[in-house]
Amino acid sequence: MPRRNPSLRDEIRQRKPFSSPAEEALLGLQRTADVVRRGFADLAEARGISLQQYNVLRILRGAAAAGMPTLEIAERMIEKTPGITRLLDKLEAKQLVRRWRCPGDRRQVLCWITDPGLSLLAELDKPILDTGVKAVAALTPLELKRFIRLLDRIRSGAHGV
């Protein structure tokens, strides 16, 4: 007999019904994101960085030799953070990134990933990918495509909130 997936109400031990399907869906989305995120965070933290720092390193790896301005890194983050400078300070202290303040515009700082940063990402790439694949393994390929479209629609609707 197939195992029944616990409902959100079961997981959070809520006795009364949700006020609406929208509330249940949004709380379920938050809970699911947290569960998946913790799996990724455990992998990153085991190698001495936070999940947000991992995200910064991935963004900078994509920028390659061109580097990237600090504010553009902040715009591309999966989880928005007001503390991008602090994240970069910590990564620079670990010698995983380097920064350069533009002489013509002292407000602009360009950032690059270092070789040790690239090595760290190389160590994390497969475990992170495997964790993500495992997280969505219960979905068929068709369900996964539909899920992606639904998430896109939710984010699109939430941008005005």
| pLDDT per residue as tens digits for the range 79-109 | 888 889 999 999 999 999 999 987 777 678 8
Neighbours of 60 (CB within 10 A): 25
Q: Which two structure tokens, joined as six digits, stand for 123?
A: 């160590």
Q: How confident is the model at residue 41 (pLDDT cuts 50, 70, 90)?
A: very high
- Local confidence band at 155 (pLDDT 50, 70, 90 cut-offs): confident
Instruction: Say whether 48 sits in a helix, a strand or coil.
Output: coil
Q: Is the pLDDT of residue 71 over 80?
A: yes
| Most confident stretch, 26-30, 44-48, 79-83, 99-103 | 44-48
pLDDT tens digits, residue range 108-151?
A: 889 999 999 999 999 999 999 999 999 999 999 999 999 999 99
List the domain boundaries for the chain.
21-156
H or E stretch covering 52: helix 51-63
Side-chain-facing half-sphere of 61: CA atoms under 13 Å: 16
Average pLDDT, the chain: 90
Other Cβ atoms closer than 10 A to 31: 13
The sign of the torsion formed by the CA atoms of 55, 122, 48, 40 equals: positive
User: Residue range 12-35: average pLDDT?
Assistant: 87
Q: Is the pLDDT of residue 3 over 70?
A: no
What mean pLDDT is predicted for residues 4-29? 82
Instruction: Give dist(CA 68, CA 120) in Å, integer.
Output: 19
C-alpha to C-alpha distances, 48 to 125, 130, 137, nearest whole angstrom: 15, 19, 28
How far, in Å, are 20, 29, 50, 139, 144 from residue 135 at the CA level? 27, 14, 20, 9, 11
Of 79 and 161, the one with more pLDDT: 79
Level-2 CATH architecture, domain 21-156: Orthogonal Bundle (1.10)
